[in-house]
Amino acid sequence: MSLMLSITMVIVTLISPVVAVQVQKFIKRYTDRKTLKIDIFKQLMATRSQNARLSNEHVRALNMIDIAFYGRVRKGQAKRSKAESQVISAWKLYFSHLNTTYPNNDNASGLIWNQNSNNLFVDLLSAIAKDIGYDFERVQLQTAIYSPIAHGEIENDQLKIRKGLASIFSDDGAIKMEIVGIPSRTES
């Protein structure tokens, strides 16, 4: 065996474990990023009905978008894929809309606000789906939602109870009492 071949074999033997570890780390980083993106998408899909959008899970998933779709950092710069850039762009539009004041006193304006919110949210879901390789049609993301009416009623009831108790405990309200009848005292 030649000296050059022997030296090459020694170098390869020494370097191959280092290369294997680096490849393993690269695969793990890629898998972790992909898993985070899929988890966010699943959570947003699970909480996409109008009533569920106030849940902690939904808000947490929205707040994770910036991290999950940030892209790879090289030399202090974020390198995003085109799909990741589209997700971030859709998120910024939706986030901006969510931070506008909901028109409480005008029913027509409230309906328009809700419609814009729904459209921007579906745009965001669509962009995330494309990034992670899912092929959903826009109409499927928008309408294929199961949300029992009872869930909405429960949410509304809980909101009324919470607001009522808050007003009582903050001395802004009182418990209404009505006397229906006074029992008479009978002596035996």
Q: What is the residue-level pLDDT of the chain in tens, covering all 188 positions?
A: 688 888 888 888 888 888 787 888 777 777 888 999 999 999 999 888 877 787 889 999 999 999 999 988 888 888 889 999 999 999 999 999 999 988 877 788 888 988 999 999 999 999 999 999 999 988 888 887 776 777 777 877 888 888 888 888 887 767 777 888 887 777 55
Specify the pLDDT at position 2.
85
Phi-psi region of 76 (alpha: psi -120 to 50; beta: other; left: phi over 0): left
Residue 122 located in a structural domain: yes
Q: Residue 185 domain-assigned?
A: no
181 located within any domain: no
- Can you tell me the distance from the alpha carbon of 157 to that of 162, in angstroms, rounded to the nearest whole number? 9
Question: Is 101 inside a domain boundary?
Answer: yes
pLDDT at 34: 92
pLDDT, position 187: 59
And the tokens for 51? 């009533």
Total domains present in the chain: 1
Whether 176 is covered by a domain: the verdict is no
For the segment 146-188, what is each residue's pLDDT rounded down to a tens digit? 767 777 778 778 888 888 888 888 877 677 778 888 877 775 5
Amino acid at residue number 122: V
> Given this model, what pLDDT does residue 1 score?
62
For residue 184, tell me if it sits in a domain.
Answer: no
Residue 167 lies in a domain: no
Confidence at residue 188, expressed as pLDDT on a 0 to 100 scale:
54
Distance CA 68, CA 78 (A): 12
Angle at 124 between CA 119 and CA 126, to 5 degrees: 95
In a domain, 25, yes or no: yes
- Give me the domain span that covers residue 9: 3-158
